[in-house]
Amino acid sequence: MNTSFHPPHAPDPLRRLSEDLRQLADGFGDHRVTLGEIMDRLGASASALIVVLCALPFCAPITIAGLSIPFGLVILVLAIRFSLGLPPWLPARLRTVALPPGFFAKALAFGGKIVGWIERQLVPRWGWLTDAPWKLRAHTLVVAAAATVLLLPLPPFPPLTNTLPALVIVILTMSILERDGFGIAAGHTLFVLMIGYFVFWGAVILEFFEKLFARIVG
């Protein structure tokens, strides 16, 4: 899988994203590493890998408290820049965000299975969704929208508040890389279902507090 958002200029064999994750785990081991070091190691063309890497912890039971906001911001910045046709870039403050020791090993143990399964499903198809650069940039706007939801300081209830946007990000990003229009459509569908899920729970919580307030006042 090509680890750049930008389409390759020639049909060279593409490396699988899971292989890139494994190489990162081997290269960085158990010591702390910053996002800036990862970008320098991978090169500017690997922005999509960083997007998936930042979303993976929220797709699996990996405890990294306090990182949903900076990771969501990283995804948001990279996705917006791609949608505008700009090269990958992160501000200095986000480049200094450090990953905890053993992060890559945990990401491979849990998130690697998710990435591997998605990879096996993706093939180039439904080209009418991917046959123009502006279409790929438009799909990336949904990645940016999901990143905005991910970085919000939402409470742990209702469940899946981080998992759903993270899955949207991973599925859409990988589908864009593989030019899989069906996968892109699936990512958009999941995004709509995610919005419906949050609206439903928002209505339930609002109704609960309205009834609670009515009892207190009454």
Task: Name the most confidently modeled range: 42-51, 72-81, 200-209.
Answer: 72-81
Say which residue the tokens 């742990």 belong to: 156
Task: Name the most confidently modeled range: 95-109, 115-129, 146-160.
Answer: 115-129
Q: According to the model, what pLDDT value does residue 11 have?
A: 33
pLDDT per position as a tens digit, 86-121: 888 889 888 888 877 777 777 766 777 778 788 888
SS3 10: coil
Q: Indicate the pLDDT class of residue 161, thresholds 50, 70 and 90.
A: confident
Q: According to the model, what pLDDT value does residue 46 have?
A: 66
Burial class (CB within 10 angstroms; exposed 0-12, middle 13-18, buried 19+) of 76: buried
Say which amino acid occupies 47: S
Look at residue 3 and tell me whether its pLDDT is greater than 60. Answer: no
State how far the Cα of 192 lies from the Cα of 186, in Å rounded to an integer: 10
Q: Which residues, 6 or more positions from 209, have their beta carbon under 8 angstroms from its beta carbon?
A: none
Q: Average pLDDT of 188-202?
A: 94
Q: Indicate the pLDDT class of residue 76, thresholds 50, 70 and 90.
A: very high
Helices (H) and strands (E) in the chain, counts: 10, 2
**Contact assessment for residue 139 and residue 21, using Cβ atoms and an 8 Å cutoff:** no
The token duo for 24 is 């990162």
Which of 194 and 62 is assigned the larger pLDDT?
194
Question: Cis ω on the peptide bond leading into residue 158 (within 30° of 0)?
Answer: yes
Instruction: Judge if pTM exceeds 0.75.
Output: yes
Segments making up each domain of the chain, as ranges: 17-217
Look at residue 207 and tell me whether its pLDDT is greater than 80. Answer: yes
Q: According to the model, what pLDDT value does residue 13 have?
A: 34
What percent of the chain has pLDDT above 90?
A: 29
Backbone angles phi, psi at 16, to 5 degrees: -80, 140
Q: Average pLDDT of 186-191?
A: 96
Q: What one-character DSSP code corresponds to residue 13?
A: P
State how far the Cα of 213 lies from the Cα of 211, in Å rounded to an integer: 5
Neighbouring-strand partners of residue 34 = 98
Number of residues in the chain: 218
Q: According to the model, what pLDDT value does residue 214 have?
A: 77
Say which residue the tokens 């992160």 belong to: 90
pLDDT per position as a tens digit, 171-186: 999 999 889 999 999 9
